Amino acid sequence: MTRRVTSSWMMLAGGVLLFVVVPLALFLPRPKAGVNPWEHVPQRAAPTDHSNLLPGPYETPQEVTRACLECHPDAAHEVMQTSHWTWLSDPQWARWLGKEIQIGKKNAINNFCIGIQGNWPGCTRCHVGYGWKDANFDFENPENVDCLACHADMTTYAKGKAGMPLDSIDLTAAAQSVGGPPTRYNCGKCHFNGGGGNAVKHGDLDESLYVPEPELDVHMGKHDMLCVDCHTAEDHRIKGHALSFAIEYGDQVQCADCHTDRPHEDDRLNDHTDAVACQTCHVPYVAPKWPTKVWWDWSTAGRDDIPENHYTYLKIKGSFRYKKNFVPEYYWWNGTVRYRYLLGDPIDPEKPTMINPPDGSIHDPNAKIWPFKIHRGRQPYDTEYKILLQPWTVGEGAFWDAFDWEVALRE
């Protein structure tokens, strides 16, 4: 970066929608007679023992993928069309720009870790591929698709930097562990640890859902359901998406997919479902088991005079505030965002920048009252060009090495 950059700090607010298709319900709504939610839950395929189908040995993860493709020749190509691979959405109409755009981790900024460009190998640990260590990753090589991330028994498999398996992993054992559908451990390894740790980002997704109590999650805890029972997949494209990257409503998952929009015996309750989302009543608290981050101040990072504590301050990341078991904020939401901040968008330093404000109002016929966890923070921006900046955090001379903001924000 050759232009002159001066840095300051900007207050931001980013919404994380408590949009769970397996809501943290305190009780099951009583359906009317004749309504059977189980009729809408797909039957799981019988597990297939792969121990003889994948004899190995395998020295590289690409060898495992090559073996998978012998029986599933279209699988890698299907994965490569999804956002789990591209880290970009399908084209969506951005009203505020008057054009179609794609949005995802590649070009979005948040107010947690800010963006992937400052720490490629760390962020891409959760990419469903092998070797994405910088901007030059080969997205066209099907052998770089990581089948094991979603299909291996997670007691046999773990990913490290740039999405590569840890050196300690026995690839043959991991390949032979493949059998049934993706488990909560497959999905949760990344989705429960968004933002850099357990429960940091979402407020409704954390490691308590690996083996939840029925009181925490009736679907997973009482009925042993899996994420993929609701987030079904066709050609490896998984249904549903987060508010973080949702400009259009798209292919979303709804409680009414199984329970209908009038699930209660009491019609007085059913009369509210056109204006009140199921989650508003059935997800009464955010982070009931593990504290979730609600404030992140990057401006204090690099200081040695603040005691380090996972929940209050880390030298490499700055100051935090966490909360547990708290009431969410409520907003009218129609399933879209009014605006989504993208890398390079201008800001007004005199007021908070909204990253992804939910769209909707009481006058919007498509909007309902929804519960939200809102994350707020302070992070660097360019005082000359008035844009948010992604600091270079990892590498020799990067911020986590030299703790020099001037260098970290220029690179």
Q: What pLDDT band is residue 99 in, cutting at 50, 70 and 90?
A: very high
pLDDT > 90 in the chain, percent: 84
Domain coordinates in residue numbering, the chain: 7-44+184-410
Task: Using the predicted structure, report yes or no on whether residue 18 has a pLDDT greater than 50.
Answer: no
pLDDT at 271: 95
Instruction: For 320-379, write each residue's pLDDT tens digit.
Output: 999 999 999 999 999 999 999 999 999 999 999 999 999 999 999 999 999 999 999 999
DSSP annotation string for 191-218: HTTTTTSTTSS-SS-SGGGSS--TTT-I
With H, G, I as helix, E, B as strand and everything else as coil, classify residue 189.
Answer: helix
pLDDT at 35: 77
CA–CA dist 286, 406 (Å, integer): 37
In angstroms, the Cα distances linking 357 to 12, 81, 388, 405 are 11, 28, 17, 29
Instruction: For 155-205, write each residue's pLDDT tens digit.
Output: 999 999 999 999 999 999 999 999 989 999 999 999 999 999 999 999 999
Task: Using the predicted structure, report yes or no on whether residue 143 has a pLDDT greater than 70.
Answer: yes
Q: What is the mean pLDDT of residues 391-397?
A: 97
pLDDT at 29: 47
Q: What is the mean pLDDT of residues 212-220?
A: 96
Question: Tokens for 18?
Answer: 């408590």
With H, G, I as helix, E, B as strand and everything else as coil, classify residue 50.
Answer: coil
Q: What is the mean pLDDT of residues 104-122?
A: 93
- pTM (predicted TM-score): 0.90
Say which range, 3-12, 42-51, 333-342, 387-396, has the weakest mean pLDDT.
Answer: 3-12
Task: Using the predicted structure, report yes or no on whether residue 28 has a pLDDT greater than 50.
Answer: no
Q: Is the peptide bond before 57 cis (omega within 30 degrees of 0)?
A: yes
| Residue 33: Cβ within 10 Å count | 7
Task: Using the predicted structure, report yes or no on whether residue 3 has a pLDDT greater than 50.
Answer: no
Question: Tokens for 286?
Answer: 């955010």
Instruction: For 237-290, write each residue's pLDDT tens digit.
Output: 999 988 887 788 778 899 999 999 999 999 999 999 999 999 999 999 999 999
Task: Using the predicted structure, report yes or no on whether residue 124 has a pLDDT greater than 80.
Answer: yes
Question: Tokens for 158?
Answer: 């773990």
With H, G, I as helix, E, B as strand and everything else as coil, classify residue 282.
Answer: helix
Task: Using the predicted structure, report yes or no on whether residue 10 has a pLDDT greater than 80.
Answer: no
| Residue 342: Cβ within 10 Å count | 15
CA–CA dist 110, 379 (Å, integer): 10
Task: Using the predicted structure, report yes or no on whether residue 20 has a pLDDT greater than 60.
Answer: no
> The tokens 């900046």 sit on which residue?
389
pLDDT at 334: 94
